[in-house]
Structure 1
């Protein structure tokens, strides 16, 4: 039994590293709006316990505690956020908390009201004042230093995240509906994780609506840094099972809508993602098909001058873009770049070299033509708008042909088709490049690929590796000549006569 303010303060001090104990104590479970509810849900308890275990470990207490949960609808994410916020404020003087969400509407109409609701339900409700955008201490002199703030994010205004420091005390950073938060905000927020001797808690919750981006990366290449889980709404107590079952029955268990809204799984493709990650992942691990002697070796070159971008040489022979090592150059001038490509050409004997003519590409092309007079060196103008068609998929007889708006869209569409059976280097950067671009349609309903500048505005890197591989699809390349005795058209024919055609014949001439 807590008797008076002094006992309550002592109890809060005792629970400084026990978020679950705090939640069980301060709310009127089983009463009023919590009637029929005995405490936090199972998944909520697990998160609260994980925070407590992290803070009680001498080796982990002052390391960032990173917890991410991807889930379907209705599991109580906002309620858990409110419980963590109230515990963090109640049990550590001058705690600083910043919360943001994918949209201002989510933050101000869902996350904010839920925080205010749970704050008012608690036995410490008079310790903090709730407004539409903050929960601040009522203790005189601590209004600015002991608080939680709801901040809408902007890629051009990230000061709130860059300035979140509270050395020697406690910091909590919360991203609600984190899948839609821009990569730049994530990057700047990392600055809050650098204070020494500080309790730092970083929570990222939300429906997994995007198959690319930083939130997706927490469950992939960053999974060793984060405590992650994906939660099926059907397994959580208190969710609307009838509604969830209706979604499954209507759209199917394998549909992206059900994956995201029910199963808590990332979609196979974002709504306008051009190449699905599953297709690229399969190409990374697929064994190369046996090479045909007729398959030409093709070089694709994407040129970049300076900055964060890099120049890439991709090498493809038929279905195999892995066996011959690719090359990448950072901050390389055109003459040196052309010389290095010529060296690779001497090694691999390409039948054609296709070079992006933008940036320093024109100079590279001129120099390659001087160095390699016997090899086709062709310029590729990504923005060329000549009316084109490309292979959309491999289904049916010969696949589906679609209209594309420019040369870049044509190459990427043909590459997309090829990836269904081709193999590529097992390289995370290449996968990110191939799955990063989104697409739309122009006024003529032709497919347009997302511009590099637009990708960078979304926090993605320029897809230099992806564009290099796409260049290998710039134009058809004639098959290589093979010995006559390997000519499949001669199988079953009698030897001799005009059909012999000499020792070699060019299959490209049929």
Structure 2
């Protein structure tokens, strides 16, 4: 019986795809509608993607290496198309070898669900073989009857205490592909368990690790160091990749410097020069501690910033800033005080310094402090600040703005830029708070995010209460004052030390 036209076309497509069993680049060029629709203006994978696909193909095409594990790692700058390459590899692996098992994971569940997974789905839908596999949120499974369980790609999350998905990955005599996306953030224990997938004999074994080199320790870093004999590695400068926003990368270089950790990690694809990336350098803070108070304008607003804590080792802190001067007006700090007493004491300071705005950290007891201050100071704007709120672009250097992951990162970025010409109190706790937090980026993203307070405490550092209070003064722009009330004499409370300390 002759085949129907549809069956003939399907058979012809299967024969064509079968020719790319050991040719991932050929598959990518054949399977997608380059130059059309979503791929308009593209004639194929980017140069670095082609190189990876060719390296996989050469390994599999050689009978001497075909059944030896291929470990391939790429550390890169931002935006070079790592997730797109992951998607192309996944589709090639499934299309060209029946009963292939593919396992994909990432540094976080969010990365897997919002970046890696959608990219795999996008390319699977674009392929000529889109109907060969059924899509769900976390899997691609074969539509061929009887093969749903063994011919598939699974997107799995991990935890350091639950690694069963990696321990059970076996597929002897066929093909296994293991992909780590944003690999720098995947725990070492997951890497160790994944080694068990490389023990099957007579099996095509491919382990790929991609990511920004955000950490100077861990298993991803070891691929380029002590384990480099096991891995084929390369580090890719994003400025050498076509289709990347080169203007933005050049801005990062201009703002931070070519040898800074942010440029090493996010642009050059190099690991940071030290174990952590310090957001505010010590020399910037020390200069602000010793600099003469810059001359201000009578119209410079006086701004209060309040970081609230309840009990324990943390402190509630009032920072006072007027233009570039954060030194002339004494700050205050409280330990183990409740919201009503804290609000009352801040109201007294407001009578003394007549602020144009008061910004209060709304977490912890902050919401209650905001409500009470609004009752006590009806004529002074009291604005709540949510550190986890949406971050906007913030100016890091004149003319150079960077995106931020949340409100706290936005405020700290503005504060960092301000420090270059500002005057700070000569106080060691404030210095230590300012230089304490490290920074990173949202995975495969350019938004700066600051180290969280719980993570700092795990490193043995206190919560940066003093620096967070100062950062609050940068929460929003405050208009110039019409009447420079801060020039007027104000009564001084000589017993101000009391149960809270004055920072002079």
Question: Could you tell me which residue of structure 1 aligns to residue 23 of structure 2?
Answer: 18
SS of residue matched to 1:230: strand
Of residues 435, 439, 459, the one that matches 2:459 is 439
SS of residue matched to 2:267: helix
2:216 touches 2:276 (CA, 8 Å); kept in 1? no
Distance 1:443 1:46 in 2: 46
SS of residue matched to 1:70: strand
Residue correspondences, number: 285
Question: What is the CA-CA distance between 1:272 and the residue it aligns to?
Answer: 6.7
1:112 touches 1:132 (CA, 8 Å); kept in 2? yes
Question: Could you tell me which residue of structure 2 aligns to residue 159 of structure 1?
Answer: 164
Distance 2:200 2:428 in 1: 54
SS of residue matched to 2:144: coil
* Higher relative contact order structure (alpha carbons within 8 Å, sequence separation ≥ 6): 2
Written as runs of structure 1 = structure 2, the 5 A alignment for 1:132-147 is: 132-147=137-152
Distance 1:34 1:440 in 2: 49
1:252 touches 1:258 (CA, 8 Å); kept in 2? yes
For structure 2, the 5+ residue unaligned runs are 1-5, 279-426, 430-456, 466-504
Question: Could you tell me which residue of structure 1 aligns to residue 105 of structure 2?
Answer: 100
Question: Could you tell me which residue of structure 1 aligns to residue 230 of structure 2?
Answer: 225
Question: Could you tell me which residue of structure 1 aligns to residue 74 of structure 2?
Answer: 69
TM-score normalised over the length of structure 2: 0.55
Distance 2:180 2:463 in 1: 37
Question: What is the CA-CA distance between 1:444 and the residue it aligns to?
Answer: 9.8
SS of residue matched to 1:129: strand
Moved over 3 A (4+): 437-440, 442-445
2:23 touches 2:54 (CA, 8 Å); kept in 1? yes
Question: What is the CA-CA distance between 1:191 and the residue it aligns to?
Answer: 0.2
Question: Could you tell me which residue of structure 2 aligns to residue 81 of structure 1?
Answer: 86
**Residue-by-residue CA offset, 1:234-283 (whole Å, 9 max, x unaligned):** 0000000111111111111111111100000000123379xxxxxxxxxx
Question: What is the CA-CA distance between 1:438 and the residue it aligns to?
Answer: 8.2
Distance 1:402 1:54 in 2: 57
Distance 1:222 1:45 in 2: 25
Question: What is the CA-CA distance between 1:443 and the residue it aligns to?
Answer: 6.3
Distance 1:33 1:202 in 2: 29
Q: CA RMSD in A?
A: 2.1
SS of residue matched to 2:30: helix
1:272 touches 1:439 (CA, 8 Å); kept in 2? no
Distance 2:106 2:210 in 1: 9
1:73 touches 1:233 (CA, 8 Å); kept in 2? yes
Question: Could you tell me which residue of structure 1 aligns to residue 189 of structure 2?
Answer: 184
2:261 touches 2:277 (CA, 8 Å); kept in 1? no
Written as runs of structure 1 = structure 2, the 5 A alignment for 1:53-68 is: 53-68=58-73
**Residues 50 and 438 of structure 1, relative CA distance in 2, 3 Å threshold:** farther
Of residues 127, 130, 139, the one that matches 2:135 is 130
SS of residue matched to 1:441: coil
Distance 2:463 2:171 in 1: 52
Question: What is the CA-CA distance between 1:59 and the residue it aligns to?
Answer: 1.2
SS of residue matched to 1:48: helix
**Residues 58 and 402 of structure 1, relative CA distance in 2, 3 Å threshold:** farther
**Residue-by-residue CA offset, 1:379-405 (whole Å, 9 max, x unaligned):** xxxxxxxxxxxxxxxxxxxxxx989xx
Question: What is the CA-CA distance between 1:155 and the residue it aligns to?
Answer: 1.1
TM-score normalised over the length of structure 1: 0.54
**Residue-by-residue CA offset, 1:472-505 (whole Å, 9 max, x unaligned):** xxxxxxxxxxxxxxxxxxxxxxxxxxxxxxxxxx
SS of residue matched to 2:276: coil
